Structure 1
Amino acid sequence: MSNPIIKVEQLSCRYGAREVFAQLDLDAAQGEVLALLGPNGAGKSTLLRCLARLQQPQLGKIWLNNQPLWQIKQRLAAQQIAFAPQNHGLNSDLTVEQMLLLGRTPHRGWLLPMSKADRAIVEQLLERFNLAQYRRQSLAELSGGEQRRVIIARALAQQPSILLLDEPTAHLDLKYQLEIMQLVSELAHSDGVCVILTLHDLNQASLCADRIALLAHGRLQAVGPPNSVLRSELIEAAYDVPVQLIEHPSHGLPLVMLQPQPKERSWLV
């Protein structure tokens, strides 16, 4: 792997008395997709929030281009790191175009008017994400897949080097899931963006990620390419369920299948 653009060292986070994870070491480079996997409560979203400077860890360090993340001015950090949450929490009365223009705030501030260059960037994103026809519609008028595209497009309007995505395919039908996964791959491998995303679907991670980081039981259990992390013994220990792995017929990557015990098969009938 090339030199990491972002790196965490001995990172620890907790909520009150509950430890989420501890002594976590991880890094990511430009042009790669890093998927964070793990059961509910493993700390995937918490780690994303730490990387986005939305939550400060109790212990450890985060480095952005070899600089301490929390010592970089917020505006400069926002020009390099963009976060697209699962629940956008945005004012749905804003139009799609207005939402994307908000992504230019780290470069313009709240008071300066948008320049021709800003509007050109937004126009390019509207076209790239097939959103131009919705530019004057509010977020509430769009489908779930269209809303997700708007949120990611708004993050990309920041022109970041690092894109953080929290469950980008959650609650989407198969068409939109595939669309988002193809977009993630394109952003990393064609545009050179470092994409770090959380996923619950292990098979999506296998097909779209260059590397996978598996979190469970408060620790980083494994990190590496899909073939080295998606192994039955690691998955079963992390998720506490029996699984069977098969090879994807076209890509040769591991696919994970649940392996119900005989006494539990009644729900399959």
Structure 2
Amino acid sequence: MAAQAQVLPCREGEPRYFEAIDRIQRLESFHSLAHEPALLQLMTLLLGEGAFPHPLGVMRLVFPDNPEVTTPPHQDFRNNQGTPRLTAAWIPLADCPLDSGPLAILPGSHRSGVLPLSFHLGPGNRQAVLPEELATARWATADFCAGDVLLFPALTVHRALPNRHPSRMRLSVDFRYQPAGEPLTEQCLQPHFARQSWDEIYRGWRSPDLQYYWHKRHYTVVPWDASLHALPEEHWDQALREDMIYERLRQRRFRNREQPRDEG
């Protein structure tokens, strides 16, 4: 499923990005992937009988030559909350060598607990503030093939490498699984970005088997703690400055790309 970027890079939060994400979220095949028997069997071995995927599935569309919005170091716990045993499955949908921006993790970082946040231009607009022992630690990553699965718990610090391929997008999915009977927040039961209802997403599906499947699962809904996701007030001035700088850089790169090359 290799994809070539044909337009100016866009990012999470922009209309063109959401247009693509909305279409993908309506695909039955996208949601079905989280329920592949091999994945469910693996998660049962890891998390116990009754482990299930959150209905909130995440599609990542990562443009080349767009390093400022590369996913920064972060932990999934602050974005999802609920149980710290929540486990992510990151799956590239096409071969993803190092120059295409695969995921990287900090081994052992889950032992540092929940880390503070600061602003970042990348997805979620938040990054983990790393203590010295993690800031100098070695990241672990690899060349990934389509269909590989990288698993890590909600407190593991992870990030993406920049997509430095000249034209190829990085397409990947994130599915998160949890043990039966443990807490989750209402946000994890909604479509990603909550831009569509489940009824809208299910319209046109061939099978009802996976529709509202979580109603038959065992879990406890707990309140969302906004303080775990909040940024310090002073970070929003920084956000505005970085956004303006990013837009100038993006336009400059686009103009350079559009300039005719000297074929002489």
TM-score norm. by structure 2 comes to 0.30
Point out the structure with the larger strand share. Answer: 1
